[in-house]
A and B are shown apart, each in its own frame.
Chain A
Amino acid sequence: MKRLIYILIFISCGLSQAQVKFTADVSREKLGINERLRVEFTMNQDGDNFIPPSFDGFRKIAGPNQSVSQSWINGKSTFQKSYTFFLQPLKRGKLTIGQAEVTIKNQVYKTSPQTIEVTAAVDNPSETGDATPQSKALDGIHLVAEVSDTSPYLNEGIYVVYKLYVSPSTDIRNWRALDNPKYENFWSQSIDVKQLEVKNGEFAGKPYRYVELRKTILYPQKTGKLQIEPLTLSIGVEVPSNRRDIFGRRLYETVDKTYSANTRTIEVKALPEKNKPLSFTGAVGNFDFSVSVNESKLKAMESFQAEVELSGEGNMSLFELPSLRAPNNTEIFEPEKNDDIRTTSKGMVGTKRNIYTLVPQQAGKQVIPSLEFSYFDPIQKKYVTLNSNNISIEVEPNANLNNSTSNADSTGTNYSFIKAPNAQFNFIKLDTTLDPIHKKRFFKSTTFWVISFCALALFPFFIVFKKVQNREGLSESDRNRRKANKLAKKFLSEAKSHLNDSKAFYLSLEKALHNYLKAKLRITTSEMSKEKIQELLLEKGGEKEDVDAFLELLKNCEMARYSPITQSEIDQDFQQAKSILAKLDKNL
């Protein structure tokens, strides 16, 4: 029994599958050039790869509008899928609408070509001619997906709006979404439409009412061709029925019909590689960037806060703020993130904040280095780099801390606190005498050596000078006398060495005295007689006593040769010779 049922089902399926219908219906076969034509390609099984014919001689006003309907009547299901085009003829005469193709179950089906006759313009152009009120009502509904920009940059915000156009002659009851589009490769955020607002607009050149059903902001995350899946709605449409009420008015019945918006393809452009800044992390839009601190003067080990703020519009929640780098001797904590981002029809707008808490460990002036943030501006089509200012913070030594605590930090250095200079930061100096940078050093230069050598050469010069001067200032006899003087001295010293030997002593003493006379009186040994000596000495101005003593000495010398002399006498004579020579010499 069961088997029989299966067989029956199978046969019925086979029968229904075999009856594939793919037809092209035109609303009219004859129309004026100022009228429009509706062409509907209908299939009774779901097919893919629908290829519409090229409508030569027509201008496509709208379409393809896709509609799918499925109904069960008396347990029998009927499926219908149709693509509708609205065409406006461009010329008069007989025009042909070519074959449309569709693949159903891997088999290609084609419609037969339709011939249309276009006549001259008619006075009262009707819309779709002989359309039944029912189909008219159903055709008065269009679901359209509008995309703000079909070729955005990667990460540039675009939006897609689903609009439901309803012609004035159609009423709808309700709708529900059958298939919510998934935005693959997009970061999406839908904007809630709080209250549907019915607006008047135009569709295909005719007045329509429309509502914006949904609005979604999309940020493409991939380059290349991306598809937005269509939204499919099931709409309850009020269609006039053939029944009438007792007053003869048409009764309306609600028919559920499925509408889906067209699939939109978006071509996402890659961001230009040229001039791409290093600090670029994917921000696209238009931003302002700033870093601020709440205190610029504080004591060591006290905390302050630094805020990195970014405001503007763009893909705000899709990138991170650049992180703050603290000076090495400052402790920095994880930032507190404080985002205030709203999604509007322009995209994400708002501010992103990272609030850091920093604790300087050491006194001194510390600089928070500037942060760089870059983004791509899709309007100007170029990268923009923003730099925050350097922020300097004056950290004073903390009296509560023991100054000797030195913090061995990661570098392993021991820090000692540097005292703040007491004085003010000095202003620039206003006067200067500029010198060449590469001044030659004088020390050890050639000039230096020459001058020093000159100074040293002065020494020998003076010696030579003195010598020359001496030689020129003395006569021959002077030189002889000098010699004699020296000799006398020499002989007296010789005599002195013979103090113990009386003979030798007196001999040398006599010689010395003679020599002396020779030098002083310029007489020779042969001329020496006592008288002559006395005379000459007196003549030269010698004192009488001295001369006598001198002669006495000479006499002693002669006597000593023949008589014995005591040691005391020798000493006495030596002393006397010395004193007399000195005395005489003074006067001569």
Chain B
Amino acid sequence: MKAVTYIFVFVMSFSIWAQNDSIFKKANDAYADANYQEAQRLYQNILKNGEASSELYFNLGNTYYKLEDLANSIYYYEKALKLNPEDESIQNNLGFAERMRLDKFENIPDSEVDKTFEDFINTFSIDSWSILGISFLFLAALSFGVFLIFKRTLIKRIAFGICIAFILVSAGCFTMAQTQLQHDKSSVYAIIFQEEKKLFEEPNTKSSTLFQLHEGTKIKILDQFRSFYKIELPDGTIGWMTTENIKKI
């Protein structure tokens, strides 16, 4: 009986996936026919079914851009970029959407070293890094075995060297994964969904307002205190903001 249930669930989920693919095609058709409302509805259905991809988010971003829904458009482009940070067409269209935004900031330039390091960390995802680490650990163990079992001095020496090297590489991979995880956890970004939102000096609506932020602005959430987020702007300004009408990427 249990097995039957499992099979049933499996088939069901499979059919939902197959359905999602067809919904995706339908939504693309609706977009191509400039029927953006319908396209938006269909794409959202796929999300409701619990599936997503960088392309789906990108298409949603495009749809909202066409509907002139600035905040949603930027929100989904950012989501797409999160899954696929190097994609040029996403970056390009995000640029289009950002031109509609009112708030424009001078980005603090990252130092060259930081950037190279970050790029290097981001070459692989967290999971890829950890799989790499495990693979190297296995290789190190195998070469350690070779070192122990073989009698010829040359082989022993080479095997030992490789073993040590692989252990170091593996440790490096795990460090990368951990750094990236830490980075992901500490950098929570969000998009403002309100036409105008005040940035306060303190987590209190009566405190003085630093300035107004506008719809579509991407902010970094540093902390939360009661119903306030401590946020950082791309130019390094730090302030507090009420939590409503903010959507985390």
Binding site for B on A (CB under 8 A): 327-329, 362-367, 390, 392, 410-418, 420-421, 423, 425-438, 441-444, 448, 451-452, 455-456, 458-459, 462-463, 465-466, 469
Contact = CB atoms under 8 A, between A and B. Distances in A.
A432 B53 contact: yes
Nearest to A463: B148
Contacts of A425: 62, 65, 92-93, 96
B118 interface: no
B130 interface: yes
A448 B178 CA distance: 13
A546 B78 CA distance: 85
Contacts, number: 143
Contacts of A366: 100
Interface in B76-126: 89, 92-93, 95-96, 98-106, 126
Contacts of A463: 148
Interface stretch (B2-10, B136-144, B186-194, B221-229): B136-144
A426 B63 CA distance: 12
Given A329-B102, A418-B99, A443-B126, A455 B149 contact: no
A392 to B, nearest CB: 6
B214 A328 contact: yes
B68 A432 contact: no
B20 interface: yes
B149 A466 contact: yes
Contacts of B52: 434-437
Interface of B: 17, 20-21, 24, 28, 31, 46-47, 50-56, 58-59, 62-63, 65, 68, 70, 89, 92-93, 95-96, 98-106, 126-127, 129-131, 133-134, 137-138, 140-142, 144-145, 148-149, 177, 181, 210-214
B51 A430 contact: no
Given A392-B68, A443-B126, A458 B141 contact: yes
Given A364-B99, A414-B106, A428-B58, 6 more contacts: A426-B93, A434-B46, A437-B52, A455-B141, A456-B137, A458-B141
Q: Is the interface of B mostly helix, strand, loop or mixed?
A: helix
Given A443-B127, A448-B134, A456-B137, A429 B55 contact: yes
Given A416-B106, A434-B17, A428 B50 contact: no
Contact of A418 (B104, B134, B140, B212): B104
B107 to A, nearest CB: 9
Contacts of B138: 455, 458
B33 to A, nearest CB: 12
11 contacts: A364-B101, A367-B68, A413-B103, A425-B96, A432-B54, A434-B24, A444-B130, A451-B134, A452-B137, A455-B134, A462-B145
A428 B104 contact: no
Nearest to A420: B99
Contacts of B63: 428
Contact of A462 (B100, B137, B141): B141
Contacts of A441: 126-127, 181
A410 B213 CA distance: 11
A378 to B, nearest CB: 32
Across the A-B interface, the 5 shortest Cβ-Cβ residue pairs:
A458-B141, A432-B55, A455-B137, A443-B130, A426-B89
B110 to A, nearest CB: 17
